[in-house]
A and B are shown apart, each in its own frame.
Chain A
């Protein structure tokens, strides 16, 4: 078993493993205390294909990947690599067998340089001394193979996210990976960087590397993948060439029931101006930006990553200080110098990264829910221990947050429920302007519609919604009006969303001039 031959042996290939299958995982089970994470994990991967691994959160994708990566042992099941049964006791063994996993959170050491990161753990050394010249040269070759130009002497913390990802890929290649698993590789990439990544993926495919592509973004799956495997509730549902899998069928397979629509219908009930932003800026970072948000409207703010959208909404919320500009809410000038002031004025921000910025993962859902409100409920600094659970019960039902109890840790909720929880705390605080930064990042396809419906119910209640999103289908499907940002400014507005096309948005976002 310790022997791994580059080609499938005739004997091993006889029991149903197709020719060309570089990897075959079958009947994988894995149980964690209290939860059967995998009941029937299956994945068959051909040489030189891009294979989508799809499923909602909790479907068992990550567990399957961790088992493939040697990070966790399976309870049962068979893993064959080139037809030979293998069992990885550690991530190192899996790596040596040619399997590389690029997680959403990169495994780069920020203070080390690009080439040092690429060869970390497999440093080229002679008598204990690093042969940095060799490493540099080899790293440059790898970059050339990827067709990108990143200075291999730069420190990794100076790289943009997209560049860091390329370093991760180079690292995988340096380890002679034949199977590269990419977990949500485009989560932090702009549309254009996504295209670059796809180019590289095609290149790798041509070189015989097999890619497992894990993503929630179905458009990308259709754009790049050859075949798809869908999982649900820890079990394999289907594996099929992507061309034979229409979108509705794919979603049905993932969710387990047909979805009515991806987006709720528009109301078109925008009324008077709720929030008037005049020349808001933070010098050297973003702005000046002027915009008007009406009651009952969802205003989308889109653009490439780095266009300054998140930076702008942080100014709006007082998370960062503005250096200039004015804000008027319902006709009254407000001064959000810090989040507390913004919240008092009625502006709330649902951050893109709920785990880092939105929630206290170790605290209970009720505590998280009550955090912005406890002070206003309090008499003399003491908590109101009757009102708090009552309010939580009400909002929990209203927003249909699935929790086992008020004391459940927020960190144990699914992405969709976490987003609902964050929304609940602002609804309870009676905010007027809801700023969503990437509202459905990390949220299942099934739960997305619910989030969208909740956003619509906000506008029906006369609130204003400002939605920052990089996902163009979401922007086109949800918003009543679209603003496009580039280089820290608004460069375009689209009023007639019904007629807008993704290409128009992209053209505006990229602009006539290359910004980089």
Chain B
């Protein structure tokens, strides 16, 4: 009966939702406010140069995604301006301990650079009282700006940079979910790829490794993740282990492997040039990682709409037995989607390693859930057989924009979790309404 109700093209509605959220945060962050991480970093480096201070400076960043971005931006800006800045990270207690060590060290810093967040810490506001050794040290905080903090180009770029790893991973996840599966291992695969890439580069020249070596090491890391995906796929098809269980196991195994390879440490011996992918921008200020993400989405979309494999993936997810009896090589299709999911997670891991110029086994924690959330918010049905790769990108952007907007408007991280959970529920409800009309919400179906 529902054929009479025309289905809204889901992408249009989703884009509208994204637009509304963007409009809201543009309005909510209007006025004078803190700079985005990149702008804050630029402003701090400029202030530092203007003050002409001799000796090194220490930038202080807290915990969280926004502070990650700040730390990255500071390092990038310092490298670009050729200023010596080291980054100290942690919660106030950790930072205090770090500063006290620095004060007694050989070359105590001459300046402290605070992010928008850390500038508000009592520890830094009152640095002379808190750590007397730093009484003479200049403290710089980012200047504030006027306009919409959300709409600033740095902020928008920052939103994209933050979501790019999850968004790339979510392409493979979309395929898996359309095939009526689930892949919980992608978060660990991100860590595994980052660690394997970093480890291989360390072994093959370290900070002096050439471009081709870096490329080969990254490709190997991605391929290794594809291999893990292949293994998951074979477990699922040959031994009929439910996807949830098989990939849950692989999540543990891949994570364990990452820790073993990295010996529990972060691996840093990587050339500066390695950040070209994660932090550079070759075309018109658009980050390279974002270009890569767009390319992956284009590829995923064409695969799903134009290729035999894409058609088969829909068929297997819609009704595996009917597909099998129609001559679809169901097992091969299922294995393929897990391989593809492994590959995109591996690619995401390499991008993350490039963004952070390091590989650590702690990367990617919970990313599988964000990737699944992006797919679901994008309107792909968890029961399989229906979905759209491009909508996953919109889903990922919705999540990123909401997170970023909440950061800008000072929503604390605990509340953010609640809001994100509500967004996922709301997206699924809206999708059910769109598909089945009001009846689907009455609970009798």
Contact = CB atoms under 8 A, between A and B. Distances in A.
A344 to B, nearest CB: 8
A340 B329 contact: yes
B325 A349 contact: yes
Contacts of A429: 327
Interface stretch (A15-23, A185-193, A377-385, A457-465): A377-385
A371 B326 contact: yes
A425 B326 contact: yes
B147 interface: no
Interface stretch (B68-76, B120-128, B308-316): B308-316
Interface string A347-386: 0010100001111111100010011101100100111010
A340 B329 CA distance: 7
B319 A33 contact: no
A458 to B, nearest CB: 19
Given A372-B326, A372-B327, A360 B318 contact: yes
Interface in B323-343: 323-329
Contact of A32 (B1, B308, B312, B319): B1
B3 interface: yes
Contact of B306 (A339, A375, A383): A383
A310 to B, nearest CB: 13
A37 B4 CA distance: 13
B31 interface: no
B27 to A, nearest CB: 37
B3 A385 contact: no
Contact of B311 (A35, A374, A425): A374
Contacts of A363: 314-315, 318, 385
A409 interface: yes
Given A34-B4, A356-B319, A317 B306 contact: no
Interface string B284-325: 000000000000000000000011111110110011011111
Nearest to A72: B444
B2 A383 contact: no
B307 A382 contact: yes
A383 B308 contact: yes
A33 B4 contact: yes
A375 B308 contact: yes
A319 interface: yes
Contacts of B3: 34, 404, 408-409, 412
Interface in A314-354: 317, 319, 338-340, 343, 349, 351
Contacts of B328: 371
Contacts of B326: 339, 371-372, 425
A44 B3 CA distance: 32
Contacts of A357: 319, 321-322, 325
B299 to A, nearest CB: 13
Interface string B206-246: 00000000000000000000000000000000000000000
B318 A385 contact: no
B308 A382 contact: yes
A74 to B, nearest CB: 16
Given A343-B327, A349-B325, A360 B315 contact: yes
Contact of A371 (B1, B4, B327, B444): B327
Contacts of B4: 32-35
Interface residues of A, number: 39
B51 interface: no
Contact of A34 (B1, B309, B319, B327): B1
Query: Quick one: which of B306, B314, B327 has the most chain A CB within 10 A?
Result: B327
Given A34-B4, A382-B308, A356 B327 contact: no
B311 A317 contact: no
A339 B3 CA distance: 32
B12 interface: no
A371 B329 contact: no
B3 to A, nearest CB: 5
Nearest to B314: A363
Contacts of B319: 356-357, 359-361
Nearest to A350: B325
B323 A360 contact: yes
A383 B318 contact: no
Contacts of A33: 1-2, 4-5, 437
Contacts of B324: 319, 338-339
A378 B312 CA distance: 13
A402 to B, nearest CB: 13
A343 B311 CA distance: 18
A237 to B, nearest CB: 23
A92 to B, nearest CB: 11
A66 B314 CA distance: 33
Contact of A317 (B1, B307, B312, B325): B325
A202 B318 CA distance: 43
A359 B322 CA distance: 6
B148 to A, nearest CB: 42
Query: Quick one: which of B5, B310, B328 has the most chain A CB within 10 A?
Result: B328
B202 interface: no
B183 interface: no
Nearest to B383: A362
Interface string A27-40: 00000111101000
Contacts of B307: 381-383
A362 B385 contact: yes
B368 interface: no
A357 B309 CA distance: 20
Contacts of B311: 367, 370-371, 374, 383
B431 interface: no
Given A33-B5, A357-B321, A339 B327 contact: yes
A22 B51 CA distance: 98
Interface string B1-13: 1111100000000
A362 B309 contact: no
Contacts of B2: 33
B386 interface: yes
A170 B199 CA distance: 69
Contacts of A319: 324-325
A360 to B, nearest CB: 4
Interface in A227-259: none
Given A343-B327, A372-B326, A374-B311, A356 B321 contact: yes
Contacts of B325: 317, 319, 339, 349, 351, 357-358
B1 A35 contact: yes
Nearest to A90: B444
A360 B327 CA distance: 13
A357 to B, nearest CB: 5
A404 B309 CA distance: 27
Q: Can you list the 8 inter-chain pairs with the closest CB atoms, starting with the nearest?
A: A34-B4, A360-B318, A32-B1, A343-B327, A371-B326, A372-B327, A378-B308, A33-B4
21 contacts: A33-B4, A33-B437, A34-B1, A35-B1, A319-B324, A343-B327, A349-B325, A351-B325, A356-B322, A357-B322, A358-B322, A360-B314, A361-B319, A362-B385, A363-B315, A363-B318, A363-B385, A374-B308, A382-B307, A383-B311, A408-B3
Interface of B: 1-5, 306-312, 314-315, 318-319, 321-329, 385-386, 437, 444
Given A35-B1, A339-B327, A340-B329, 19 more contacts: A33-B4, A37-B1, A317-B325, A319-B324, A319-B325, A339-B324, A357-B322, A359-B319, A360-B385, A363-B314, A371-B315, A371-B323, A374-B308, A378-B308, A381-B309, A382-B308, A383-B307, A408-B3, A429-B327
